[in-house]
Amino acid sequence: MATIEDHNVRLTQQPSSETLVLPRLRMMVHFAACGQGFLRKVAITVGITLLLGGVAPLSAQQQKGPPPSYHEVPAPKSKKVTQASSTAEDLPTLTRKALPAVVLVVAADKAGKEIHQGSGFLVSGDGKVVTNYHVIEGTTSAVFKLPNGAFYTVEGVLALDQDRDLAMLKATGRDFPFLALGDSDNVQVGEQVIAIGSPLALEATVSNGIVSAIRELDETKEKVIQTTAAISPGSSGGVLLNSRGQVIGVTAFQMTKGQNLNFAIPADYIKPLLAAKNVTPLEPADTPTVKTSEARVENPETGPNIPRYWTHVGTGESVTVRIVGDYLYEEGSFSSDGVDILSNSYICDTKRQGNEWIGKCSRTIRGNVWDALGNFVRVFQCALSVDETVTMVSPERIEGESQGAAPGPNFPGGPYRGVNRCLVPGPTRSHFVLIPKE
């Protein structure tokens, strides 16, 4: 839990003349999709606790000049009046529908040591995960866990808005459950809301309350939603839902002084991040560049003379190869012991570019988690996506380079016997050779 103490920055609140003592936060906005950033000075007006588990206190950065004022604004006058009596769902039904898309986020450093733990939620079926920026700040790898016990590797960052403390991550996998974004501009003070997250790693924790106020920063006109729905350290990046199950906010911080004063970042600030398509590693590694000047394609006219079944030299695993037009597909599996590892398969999808085929390999691992005494805990599922370049294709041989894997963060709640973590993309590359299966 990171606590920012008072720094004697005065706040004016309207229409009341009361003042509060608040810290200043200086943040930068950066969108990974376009690679451009700019610095924006923002003053947030309360002594706050960032809702992050397992981190050291952060120090507030001082700014020169007078602080912007921060005041309460009236609920927006919207033509779209919420008719809760006809559209709202009861709390158990709403919770049951939303829970599958809310995740526990565990982020680690280069050594695989867990340094941040927070919450997040899926906003698309292809694995876009929203959380707070401070949950993944300074980390090199991350995994998230669904309520059903499945673990997935975070492939990287799609977009960051550090000014508003938002991050959109890309998880490896598909067909995920996800939540719909609502219109946070139409949120009404007094309407019923629920918050779902993983405070103190207590996964799928649900609390309910109301919208207490909509507050606005005078300098930037950016808003935050104040709510009575309880949140705690570890709730960072969790979801705030309206009574129709729509996302209206991202739970982010609470006041250190006072009671039940919780705040969320409005969901409308998420929407620009959805356009991002390029994935950037949490912390780019110095990956060796493959020399391609010697690449050979002995059989550019791919056709029926390319065998379908191959053997991986070194591991002896069977690999199925298909070439369709400019695409080369590989499917294979690694050995499983049936106890710790139930299945371990991969699919590679590469496209011809000049004399090479370049693309991705997606690997899925399923297995059992056992406690230290050997008792069954749950089934896990890990997904990993790495780069692959095929440099030579002939009827007698296929060669290439593939990105290696590295240990990810430990599974929450451990230690466990046997498998303790998923794999994440690593900084190295390895050479592979396939020969026709006899």
Q: Which one of 198, 212, 236, 402 is the catalytic residue?
A: 236
pLDDT value of position 308: 85
Q: Which one of 141, 163, 165, 402 is the catalytic residue?
A: 165
CB 240 within 8 A of CB 274: no
Q: Which of 173, 165, 183, 168 is nearest to 276 (CA)?
A: 168
**Is 337 assigned a catalytic role?**
no
pLDDT value of position 32: 27
**Is 236 assigned a catalytic role?**
yes
Q: Which one of 134, 207, 235, 312 is the catalytic residue?
A: 134
Which residue segments constitute the domains of the chain, with CATH numbers given? 1-76+88-284 (2.40.10.120), 309-436 (no CATH)
Residue 190 DSSP class: T
pLDDT value of position 2: 37
Please give the model's pTM, rounded to 2 decimal places.
0.56
From CA 321, how far away is CA 117, in angstroms rounded? 40
Q: Which of 210, 207, 174 is nearest to 190 (CA)?
A: 210
DSSP 221-280: --EEEEE-S---TT-TT-EEEETTS-EEEEEEEEESSSSS-EEEEEGGGTGGGGG----B
CB 402 within 8 A of CB 409: no
pLDDT value of position 52: 55
Q: Low-confidence residues of the chain, pLDDT below 70?
A: 1-87, 217-220, 283-304
Say which residues have a Cβ less than 8 Å from residue 258's Cβ, sequence separation at least 6: none
Say which residues have a Cβ less than 8 Å from residue 438's Cβ, sequence separation at least 6: 311
Token pair 């938002």: residue: 166
pLDDT value of position 403: 92
pLDDT value of position 160: 92
**Is 165 assigned a catalytic role?**
yes
pLDDT value of position 130: 97
